[in-house]
Structure 1
Amino acid sequence: MIYDEGSAMSELQHHAPYPPIHHVAPKNPGVALLASIFFPGLGSLMNGHAGKGIGIFVGYVLSWFLVILFVGIFGVIGFWIWGMVDAYQGAKSWNARHGIVS
């Protein structure tokens, strides 16, 4: 039997002992906060929380409609602040879950 080094190497490559390593990029809490300052809910979207980000934005827009009735200003301010706080905390939490110190 002739020993073929190429086929032995090829067989070794097919049976890697370790799964591939997936690198994740850290989330920047400051960028998430800035995004939410200018567009409420965007920071949450950037952190992968689509439902929460859309909810914050919809609440913010609906509150602006209520401002006409002089009632919604509290909602506008509340949803805006909630969006900023959630964006910042969400980025820090995501980083912590992925072993990234931020």
Structure 2
Amino acid sequence: MADLKYFKPEVTVKATIELDEGDLAALDALAGYGTDAFLKVFYERLGEAYLKPHEKSLRKIFSEIRRVAPVAIKKAEEARAQLKKASDELAGRAALA
């Protein structure tokens, strides 16, 4: 029979959340306060009982949001500007025709 004293079961959960630009901007604004500042106010106003056990994960999430969100938002703005430029050029050509 197998020796199970070294057996360590593990469950891994991963979830994918799809966010639109407005959702991402809202998260960026929330994380933009800084994790420590956010937690200070949260704990002062709402207490530590609920969020304290998840603080490490919240710090990880806020860090990832601050890393990813500004880049994604900037790329969306750049794409929008390029589309507008191309649209304006097409409209100008159509007016000349």
TM-score (norm 2): 0.32
Length-normalised TM-score, structure 1: 0.31
Structure in which a larger fraction of residues adopt helix? 2
